[in-house]
Amino acid sequence: IFLWNYKQNTVEITKHFATEIFSVAIHPSGLHLLVGFPDKVRFMNIYGDDIREFKNFGIRSCSECRFSNGGQFFAATHSTIIHVYFTYTGELLSHLKNHSGKIKKIFFGQDDTRIISVGVDGNVFEFSLCDFQKVNSNNIKAISFNAVTADQGTVWVAGNDRKLHQYNR
């Protein structure tokens, strides 16, 4: 892992690991990292010029992890399941399941009350973080979606068809 000072274009911190890293997310405060490894997800703290593991979670092969915009939640994927945690206690809040294929990307809504996921199965799901229920879905089976973003009223997704798809919420 290389942490860069983008203003000075210099590397501030370097941390090497013996195993492959599948995913990385940085907390909005800039003081914490989530790192997905083949055997677990590690919650790490940034101390001065070092990165140290604080806690680990038994989520294998996490290909996507992300902190919420406010940092109070984080989500990590394993294949077709999204694991949602409360950041400050490490408490598991829910498992979100609906995808039939691997989840590629997740996105927290602007107010952190929704999470949107896209996958290789052509599904776009929106879940409420108030009751952890699916509130919206869209599907195009012929497309494998790779990216997602949203604002208050619209979700945009991109996939292997090289087009941007727009869905109203």
Mean pLDDT for the chain overall = 96
Q: pLDDT value at position 13?
A: 95
One-letter identity of residue 2 = F
**Is this model's pTM higher than 0.75 or not?**
yes
Which run of H or of E encompasses 107? Answer: strand 103-108
Q: pLDDT value at position 67?
A: 98
- pLDDT over 90 at 14, yes or no: yes
Other residues' Cβ atoms within 10 Å of the Cβ of residue 87: 18
- pLDDT over 90 at 169, yes or no: no
Q: Measured between alpha carbons, how far is 64 from 92 in angstroms, rounded to an integer?
A: 17
Average pLDDT score over residue span 29-45 = 97
Average pLDDT score over residue span 34-51 = 96
Cβ atoms of 126 and 115 within 8 Å: the answer is: yes
Is residue 116 very low, low, confident or very high in pLDDT (cuts 50, 70, 90)? very high
Share of the chain above pLDDT 70, in %: 100
